[in-house]
Amino acid sequence: MSNLIAPHGKEERLMPLLLEGAELEAETERAKSLKQIRMTSRETSDLIMMGIGAFTPLTGFMTKADWQGVCDKFLMEDGTFWPIPITLSTDDEEVKEGDELSLVDDETGTLIATMQVSEKYTIDKEYECQAIFKTTDLEHPGVEKVMKQGKYNLAGPVKVLSESYYPEQFKGLYHRPAESRKIFDELGWTRVAALQLRNPMHRSHEYLAKIAVEVMDGVYIHQLVGKLKPGDIPADVRVKAIQALVDNYFVKGTVVQGGYPMEMRYAGPREGLLHAVFRQNYGCSHMIIGRDHAGVGDYYGPFDAQKIFNEIPKGALKCQNLNIDWTFHCYKCGGMASMRTCPHGKEDRLLLSGTMVRKTLSEGGDLPAEFSRPEVVAILQEYYANLEEKVEIKLHGAATGEVKK
């Protein structure tokens, strides 16, 4: 009997939509005769999250009522808490309600799922962007993707047939929620904190994890292995760098590294909530929320992702936020500290950020020892030295300390 937190939703059980065995074979064959819809990488990753049960209790792409409720008040039509619309779009005028479709990833050509269309509808894209991202600025990568969506949204239940390349490419790292829960049970963990990562771990990440280790049974270093924006460090490099840190600087049995197939939306506060929702499904009782969680540029205040947990309907989410203040290296303290523990001024502090790490290394610079462990730096330097096409990385307020409150 597991003592881990129950999955999200009224039924409190995992609801994976991925078919197996004879059922999978039959549905895959049937899909060949169905009308095909091509999906973006974001839609594909959302579908795989539904397939593995990470998006429990979703059974398919959202209806217009679900979309409206999520945008307005974090609630689907049936009252289920959900912070970001999970939708599928198309420009195909011929698709109609009742149609059965095969859903194919546009980039790889992989058949991912079948779907029965229960509703075809249009949305106000600017309204969604303002509600979810707090901006309609096309420079925001999440806004850009919503504005490029097709004219229509398609709702309906899905049967997932594939996890694409994730299980093979990230073998040993890629977890389904049932697998992470089994790992935690075997370790005897019940209080598990998730650390969201899309960058290699620098010293602030390490500090966040070690604070959580002190008060939890263990920490799930859970990194995104889906598609990122230009300039971000690819997953295979991050995996190697994080493992070097785990092997050399953490007590064995206190952390587990895992990967999940979702694509970043860079939705800041709303995405922090989504991270907590699916981490609950993965078996995590707590979600570490630090500075500029899931943010991009200067669209959000540094701690907006902490504040939003106080704005959602009471009891909507079992996974609790573990808030940790701004962390940095303090020369006077002689080590890592936070705003709550360090009494010194900003002139004594070295602020650390993944953006700063990427910018410095991409330009051939050296990182101070206070920024990152030498084993990690060596791996990242090798990556940047062999990078053929450079991407300019811009610093924003959250990376430099000049931020709105």
List the catalytic residues.
198-199
First to last CA, the chain: 45
Are 237 and 354 a contacting pair, CB within 8 Å?
no
For residue 185, give the 3-state DSSP assignment. helix
Task: State both tokens at 248.
Answer: 């050399």
Residues in CB range of 295: below 8 A, 6 or more apart? 266, 268, 304, 305, 398
Residue with tokens 């598609």: 227
Q: Is the peptide bond before 57 cis (omega within 30 degrees of 0)?
A: yes
Residues in CB range of 46: below 8 A, 6 or more apart? 55, 86, 262, 263
- H or E element in which residue 192 lies: strand 192-197
For residue 208, the one-letter residue type is L
CA distance 119 to 113: 17
Are 190 and 151 a contacting pair, CB within 8 Å?
no
- H or E element in which residue 377 lies: helix 374-385
For residue 351, the one-letter residue type is L
